[in-house]
Amino acid sequence: MGRLTEGQQLLRTDLARLSDAALDDPVRTNWDELWPAWKIFWTMIDHDAHHGAEIGCLRDLYRSKV
């Protein structure tokens, strides 16, 4: 299993452990701000989607030059 797949599985496991109410609980970020848990998960998902799209665009650009 690759690192990305392992990371996604850990994210799913952590998210499944939380109740709906717990998603609104404040959680400390790694830069020491308090955010609701849902916002941290959403930011992580958005971050991965953003970089995945960048990789896809670069892959397509390099593929078209060959």
pLDDT beyond 80 at 54: yes
pLDDT at 35 (0 to 100)? 97
What are the tokens at 34?
């308090």
In which band, very low, low, confident or very high, does the pLDDT at 66 lie, cut at 50, 70 and 90? low
The total number of structural domains in the chain stands at 1
Give pTM, 2 decimals.
0.67
What are the tokens at 41?
């998960």
Residue 59 belongs to what domain range?
3-65
What are the tokens at 19?
């109740």
pLDDT at 42 (0 to 100)? 92
The rounded percent of the chain whose pLDDT value lies above 70 is 92
What residues have CB less than 8 Å from 29, skipping those under 6 apart?
Answer: 35, 40
Summarize the confidence of residues 9-20 as an average pLDDT. Answer: 88
